Structure 1
Amino acid sequence: MKVEIYTKETCMFCHKAKAWFAEHNIPYEEKDVGTTAAFSAMQERVPGAKTVPQILIDGHVIGGWDNLSAYAEPILKKLRTAYPA
């Protein structure tokens, strides 16, 4: 199960999302979108995205920190199938 997080260095919600995955020992691939070209590439992958973080699990868009925190329990349950505690 692949987790991708599109981030910017100055984004506090990006730091919170990365900390959540680290706390639960879930590996993720971080993609820094600090440049205009990288941000545009993220928008091609996640149409309509205007903010970061953008979190994808197996190519499915979860959304940002608000969605991750709102659905943390079912997301973690799904991830535990691939990454047992």
Structure 2
Amino acid sequence: MTTHPPITIYTTPHCPYCHAAKALLKKKGVAFEEIDVQDAGLRQQMMIRANGRRTVPQIFIGETHVGGSDDMHELDRRGELDPLLSQQ
């Protein structure tokens, strides 16, 4: 099994962009920690970590803030996601 940096994705249950982001990560075969930010405290934690961004998902690969689903899919289209996933 390939190792990768820890991946954290802040989500809400009914967000289509969250589902799309998780689907891409699953397609890549990488494990991730999902944090449901319906809780105000967890949403605040996400906003601090994501430099004030309020929308979900917010995705982190290691300490790198990737951004949202569209940002991650764009990285994948440009061939820049796999190298991020394989960093240690």
TM over 0.5: yes
CA distance in 1 between partners of 2:7 and 2:60 (Å): 6
What displacement does 1:65 show? 0.8
Q: Which residue of 2 aligns with 1:26?
A: 30
What displacement does 1:81 show? 5.4
Picking from 21, 41, 44, the partner of 1:40 is: 44
- Where in structure 2 are there 5+ consecutive unaligned residues? none
CA displacement, residues 20-77 of structure 1 (integer Å, 9 cap, x when unaligned)? 0011101111111012221111112212211000000111100001110111121123
CA RMSD after TM alignment: 1.4
What displacement does 1:80 show? 3.8
CA distance in 2 between partners of 1:57 and 1:77 (Å): 11
TM alignment of 1:30-69, pairs within 5 A: 30-69=34-73
Instruction: Name whichever of 30-39 and 4-13 sits farther off.
Output: 30-39
CA distance in 2 between partners of 1:76 and 1:14 (Å): 19
- Where in structure 1 are there 5+ consecutive unaligned residues? none
Please give the TM-score of this superposition, normalised by the length of structure 2. Answer: 0.84
**CA spacing shift, 1:78–1:44, aligned 2, 3 Å:** closer
CA distance in 2 between partners of 1:68 and 1:23 (Å): 13
* Total equivalences in the alignment: 82
Which segments of structure 1 move beyond 3 Å, counting only runs of 4 or more? Answer: none
Please give the TM-score of this superposition, normalised by the length of structure 1. Answer: 0.87
Matched, 1:79 2:85: yes
Matched, 1:7 2:18: no
CA distance in 2 between partners of 1:77 and 1:41 (Å): 27
